[in-house]
Amino acid sequence: MSQTSTDRIVDLFVIGGGINGCGIARDAAGRGLTVELAEMNDLASATSSASTKLFHGGLRYLEYFEIRLVREALIERETLLRAMPHISWPMRFVLPYHKDMRFEGETPTSRILNLVMPWMKGRRPAWLIRLGLFMYDHLGGRKILPGTTTLDLAHAPEGRPLKDKFTRAYEYSDCWIEDSRLVVLNARDAAARGAVIRTRTKVQSAERIGDLWQITLVDQDSGDHSTLRARGLVNAAGPWVKDVISGTLRLNSSEGVRLVRGSHIVTKRLFEHDKCYFFQGTDGRIIFAIPYESDFTLIGTTDAEHTDASQKPECTPQEAEYLCRFASEYFKVPVTRDDIVWTYSGVRPLYDDGAKSATAATRDYVLSLEQAEGAPLLNVFGGKITTYRKLAEAALAKLGPHFPDAEGDWTAGVPLPGGDFAVDGVVALAESLERGYPFLSKAWARRLVRAYGTEAVDILGEAREASALGPDFGATLTGAEVRWQMHREFAREAADVIWRRTRLGLRMSAEQIAALDRWMQQERHDRRDSDAGAAKG
């Protein structure tokens, strides 16, 4: 263990390597600020890799009158589609409707309906759904995404997996996002613009000394300590935002965070088409059933209070049963625990607005700037993947007076690494990859394009056969791809590769995963030796 002190001063230090932290780091670095970020685990290791994998306006938020949030998110959908066509794409959502559907939950909208139309208690009338979808189509100024249509489920293929009582559905547009890759690509772009990204590095303490923050870091692997100073500090620690305020920074704050656990199940494939289902529950909640990784269906999410950020969120047997039972209200063939191949759960750090239930708590973000004494501190509460870029812009606007030489907004329309091609160009790019590398299968080429976009050719290099890509770990994962992730994408362990930068853990055996982990450890050891030798030379 060693202690390193430095006189290095950066403009902005960011705590937290989730989507908000990495988005802010990228935005700030692109404005010409010197930036450093620390994440105590892997990038996107908590909330940002455990989402429902959608970026969307949030149709159900209209019932809570969160019009500003919905409008901002709707506008952002198409901005993001253009910036990251490899890791995001349009998706059509099917909302089955039945006139006798009732629910027991309560929203501001349902309270009004119950007053003016008491005979409709427990129902969302068709006209209300159509009104919501009309607003959804027009609030965000759609240009790429098609609008709402009505489906006759008795004859449409989307109706085949559903119970016969569902004869009508509304179909509308939203989008899919590879959530953890979004985080990684923001971190990569931040680093390319000069930011220092430190993973597995914990902020032990931070205190104001004069007009600067003095920050002490601990390397989680070696135990080594280091210090630096910063002109501004951003607390984007997600579920740990309050812990950082009270523990790491030792400050008092009346603002709180509400931890809400969202659990998901992944099942064998339940239907053949590529559209997503939006299901309404009798409890007033909604879930999605989404095509996932070609051979699976993703179902989620729940909303449950989670009281301790240090407790790893897991999908409980009760939550899994709830999701199975919920989906079975719609599918002809019941969804059972035997269908589940994987579960995951994440904690959403929502701003504590005093709502009665986790479902009703606001999904909007709150940026709290504390600058009473010297260097500024910006605490980030809440937020959602869809609005991460706007959150970053708002964060830099809050901090702007402290950095008068920083450049203006710039991220809208600027592609993330590998995203420099047309929104509808994935098929052409994959076909080009197949022609250039005949040993690739169609599925393999498409997977590489969906993960790396135009950078897929940089991973494959001059290989003319699969063996030239190094070890074959299974599921089309090769040494060349893993090296790319280790050297360019901050991956260190097998879990970083198979559950965050890809989802190949769904297709790999325990033996293959163990072999990958051993190989990565050896690769890291060899690289340390090489770097040490170069330093001596």
User: Is 361's pLDDT higher than 70?
Assistant: no
Mean pLDDT of the chain: 91
pLDDT top residue among 512 and 258? 512
Structural domain boundaries, residue 379: 3-47+180-255+363-402
Q: Report the distance separating Cα 212 and Cα 402, nearest Å.
A: 12
Query: Is 80 exceeded by the pLDDT of residue 120?
Result: no
Query: Are both 223 and 312 inside the same structural domain?
Result: no
pLDDT at 117 over 50: no
Q: Residue written as tokens 């990784």? A: 293
pLDDT for 285: 86
pLDDT at 275 over 60: yes
Q: Poorest-confidence range of 135-144, 213-222, 460-469, 512-521? A: 135-144
**pLDDT grade for 451, boundaries at 50, 70 and 90:** very high
- Tell me the pLDDT band of 121, cut-offs 50, 70 and 90: very low
Q: Which of 349, 286, 281 is nearest to 56 (CA)?
A: 286
Inside any domain, residue 463: yes
Q: Give the number of other CB atoms < 10 A from CB of residue 423.
A: 16
* 432-441 per-position pLDDT tens digit: 999 999 999 9
CB atoms within 10 A of CB 441: 11
Predicted pLDDT at 113: 41
Question: Taking the CA atoms of the chain, what radius of gyration do you get in angstroms?
Answer: 24
> Could you tell me the two tokens for 265?
């199940």
Is residue 517 predicted with pLDDT exceeding 90?
Answer: yes
310 & 168 share domain: yes
Question: Which pLDDT score, from 0 to 100, does residue 165 have?
Answer: 94
Say whether both 170 and 278 belong to one domain.
yes
Q: Lowest mean pLDDT of 134-143, 172-181, 296-305, 421-430, name the range.
A: 134-143
Residues 243 and 375 in one domain: yes
Domain-embedded: residue 417: no
* Domain boundary, last residue among 351, 384, 411: 351
Say which amino acid occupies 21.
Answer: G
305 and 394 in a single domain? The answer is no
In 160-197, which positions are buried (b, 16+ CB within 10 angstroms) versus exposed (e)? ebbeeebbbbbbbbbbbbbbbbbbbbbbbbbbebebbb
Residue that wins the pLDDT comparison between 412 and 100: 412
**For position 371, what pLDDT does the model report?**
82
Cα distance between residue 520 and residue 490, in whole Å: 12
Among residues of the chain, what percentage have pLDDT more than 70? 90
Split into its structural domains, the chain has a count of 3
For residue 55, pLDDT over 50 is answered with: yes
- Where does the pLDDT of residue 282 fall: very low under 50, low under 70, confident under 90, or very high at 90 and above? confident
* Cβ pair 288, 276 in contact under 8 A: yes
Q: What is the pLDDT of residue 4?
A: 66
pLDDT digits (tens, 9 = 90+) for 75-107: 999 999 999 999 999 999 999 998 766 656 655
d(CA 164, CA 58): 28
pLDDT of residue 103: 58
Classify residue 61: in a domain, yes or no. Answer: no
Instruction: State how far the alpha carbon of 32 is from the alpha carbons of 14, 25, 26, 460, in Å.
Output: 15, 11, 10, 33
Looking at residue 159, its pLDDT comes to 97
Helix (H) or strand (E) holding 261: strand 257-268
Long-range contacts of 238-242 (CB under 8 A, 24+ apart): 238/16, 238/18, 238/20, 238/21, 238/46, 238/47, 238/48, 238/347, 238/349, 239/46, 239/47, 239/306, 239/309, 239/347, 239/349, 240/16, 240/309, 241/16, 241/349, 241/379, 241/380, 241/381, 242/309
Work out the burial of residue 142: count CB atoms within 10 Å of its CB; fewer than 13 is exposed, 13-18 middle, 19 or more buried. Answer: middle
Residue 62 lies in a domain: no
Residues 472 and 459 in one domain: yes
> For 357-368, what is the mean pLDDT?
73
In the predicted structure, residue 178 carries a pLDDT above the cut 60: yes
Q: What is the dihedral of CA 13, 18, 19, 23, to 10 degrees?
A: 20
In a domain, 188, yes or no: yes
> Same structural domain for residues 262 and 306?
yes
Domain harbouring 524, CATH code: 1.10.8.870
Residue 195 lies in a domain: yes
User: What number is the average pLDDT over the span 102-117?
Assistant: 52
Pair (443, 469) in one structural domain: yes
Q: Are residues 172 and 185 in the same domain?
A: no
168 and 263 co-located in one domain: yes
For residues 505-519, average pLDDT: 98
pLDDT for residue 310 is more than 70: yes
How far apart (Å, rounded) are the C-alpha atoms in residues 35 and 237? 16
Q: Kind and range of the H or E element at 169?
A: strand 168-177
Dihedral, 48, 54, 59, 65 alpha carbons, nearest 10? 20
In a domain, 518, yes or no: yes
- State residue 123's pLDDT score: 57
The phi, psi pair for 340, rounded to 5°, reads: -75, 130
CATH number of domain containing 318? 3.30.9.10
User: What residues does 35 pair with on adjacent strands?
Assistant: 12
Q: Same domain for 392 and 316?
A: no
pTM: 0.93
Looking at residue 191, which CATH number applies to its domain?
3.50.50.60
Does 434 share its domain with 518? yes
Question: Is residue 206 over pLDDT 70?
Answer: yes
Q: Evaluate whether residue 416 is within a structural domain.
A: no
